[in-house]
Amino acid sequence: MTAIRLHINDVWYKDNGKNILQGVNLAVPCSEGIGLCDPTGLSGAELLQICATLLEPTQGEIYLDGTPVPFGREIDLLPLRRKIAYVAEDTALISNLTLLQNVSLGWAYHENKSLHDVWEEGERLLTYFQVNDYKNLHPTEVNAEIFKRAVCARELAKKPILILLDRIINTLSTEGQALLISYVGKCLREMGSSLLVASTSAVSLASLATLISRSYTLEEGRLAGENPACGPSGSHTRTDTARHDSGRNSI
C-alpha cells in the first residue's frame, strides 16, 4: 500500500464570517500528484496555504507523514516548512538580494551552511531553470518570467517532500512550464515527493498531465467528486517503491 504523505481531515476555514472551506477531506500519497480545480481561485489558495502551515484552519487537522501539524506553535512549524515547497502566483523574493542569494539563502538556512558554501547548488538550480545568466541581478531588475523561475528554484532547493503549486503554472511561459514540470517530476520519481496543485483552469491542470493522477473540483469550499474533465485521471505512471528509495537523494 502506498504511504500517505499529506492527509487533510475535515478542514474548514472561515474568513470574515464566510466559509471558504467546508469539511475538506483529501489524502495525497507519496510519489503522486493531485489537482484541484477552483474557478474562484479562493478556496484552493486558502487550502494550499493551510497545507503550507501558513494559515491555521478554523476546524479540522492536517497530517504530514502521519503526524498532525502543530498549528499555533510557530517554533514547531519551522522544521515542517523546511520540507515543503510552496509556490504561489504572488510568492515574493527578497528585493535587496540577488537571484543567486535568494535561492541560496533558503538552501543555506535549511542545511545550516553559509551562503558561499551553497552557491554551487544555487547556481545548479538557476541553470536548470535557465536563469543563471541573471544570477547577479536583483528581483526588481528582471522580468516576471525570470522572477517566477527563480521563485521555483528557491522553493525546490529545499528538496521538499511536499510540493504545493498555487496557480503558478498559469503565470509561466510554455518553456517555463516545461522546466517546472520536468523538475517536479524528478522530485516525485526520485525523492518520493508528493504534489498538490490548485488552479482556476482545467486547461492548466491538463498541462500537468504527467504529474497528476487525480483531480477534483472545489465548489463553494467543498471538494466535489473526482472530475477527470478538470485534469487527466490516471495519467501519472506510478513507480515501484524500491525505485523511489534507491534514488531518494539523487536530486
pLDDT digits (tens, 9 = 90+) for 185-216: 999 999 999 999 999 888 888 888 899 999 99
Average the pLDDT over 121-137 and give the result. Answer: 93
Q: How confident is the model at residue 108 (pLDDT cuts 50, 70, 90)?
A: low
pLDDT value of residue 233: 38
- The bridge status of strand 4-15 relative to strand 18-29 is antiparallel
pLDDT value of residue 1: 64
pLDDT value of residue 109: 67
Q: Which of 226, 151, 227, 165 is nearest to 196 (CA)?
A: 165
For the cut 90, the answer to whether the pLDDT of residue 176 exceeds it is yes
Domain assignments of the chain as residue spans, ordered by start: 4-83+160-246
Mean pLDDT over the full length of the chain? 85
**Residue type at position 69:** V
For the cut 70, the answer to whether the pLDDT of residue 12 exceeds it is yes
Q: What is the pTM of this model?
A: 0.86
For the cut 70, the answer to whether the pLDDT of residue 132 exceeds it is yes
Residue 187 per-residue DSSP state: I
Cα separation, 162 vs 206, in Å, equals: 21
Question: Burial letters for 45-62: b for 16+ Cβ neighbours within 10 Å, e otherwise?
Answer: bbbbbbbbbebebeebeb
Question: Burial letters for 138-155: b for 16+ Cβ neighbours within 10 Å, e otherwise?
Answer: bbeebeeebbbbbbbbbb
202 vs 102 pLDDT, higher one: 102
162 vs 247 pLDDT, higher one: 162
Q: In percent, how much of the chain has pLDDT > 90?
A: 62
For the cut 60, the answer to whether the pLDDT of residue 65 exceeds it is yes
pLDDT value of residue 246: 32
Superfamily of domain 4-83+160-246: P-loop containing nucleotide triphosphate hydrolases (3.40.50.300)
pLDDT value of residue 241: 32
Residue 45: phi and psi, rounded to 5, are -65, -45
**pLDDT one-digit tens code per residue, 42-63:** 899 999 999 999 999 999 999 9
Cα separation, 181 vs 124, in Å, equals: 17
Q: In percent, how much of the chain has pLDDT > 70?
A: 85
- Residue 57 CA: distances (Å) to CA of 46, 69, 96, 108, 224: 9, 11, 33, 30, 19
pLDDT value of residue 148: 96
Beta pairing partners, 34: 196, 214
For the cut 80, the answer to whether the pLDDT of residue 146 exceeds it is yes
